[in-house]
């Protein structure tokens, strides 16, 4: 089964119906049908939660929390090995720190990274990327 890691921009694209939401929505439908495996680091989930809280307020952020837990996304913890790999992405590619966790998780899970964040252009030779735009 094909695996995908979502970064924060991919989930925000879907939840806020930004351009590219159809691509992420299609991944969700395939995951619900058991044809795709979706995962996300808790670091990137926290980035989404913070962004929604900051932009929409705590009430909307709590509503968002209830919506996200129903999606077919495995929220994965961060351990020392993943943190080390993320730090290496930061040192070698100068990605924003939270994005490094999405990149590291994609490598660890041998997955395609789903994103709309242009910062990942610097690593597209190292990991497969599905651009949601």
Q: Which domains does the chain have, with CATH numbers?
A: 2-131 (3.40.50.1010)
CA distances from 132 to 84, 114, 115 (A): 27, 7, 6
Is 0.85 surpassed by the pTM of this model?
A: yes
Q: What is the mean pLDDT of residues 60-73?
A: 88
pLDDT per position as a tens digit, 19-52: 999 999 999 999 999 999 999 999 999 999 999 9
CA–CA separation, 27 and 46 (whole Å) = 21
Q: Is the pLDDT of residue 1 over 90?
A: no
């Amino acid at each position: 089964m094909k695996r995908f890691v979502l970064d924060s921009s991919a989930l925000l694209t879907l939840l806020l119906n930004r351009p590219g939401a159809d691509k992420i929505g299609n991944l969700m439908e395939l995951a619900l049908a058991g044809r795709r495996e979706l995962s996300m680091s808790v670091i990137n989930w926290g980035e989404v939660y913070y962004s929604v809280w900051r932009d929409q307020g705590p009430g909307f952020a709590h509503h968002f929390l209830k919506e996200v837990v129903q999606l077919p996304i495995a929220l994965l913890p961060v351990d020392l090995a993943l943190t080390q790999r993320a730090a290496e992405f930061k040192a070698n590619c100068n990605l924003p720190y939270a994005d490094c966790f999405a990149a590291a998780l994609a490598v660890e899970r041998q997955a395609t990274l789903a994103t709309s964040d242009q910062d990942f252009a610097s690593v597209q030779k190292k990991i497969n990327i599905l651009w949601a735009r």
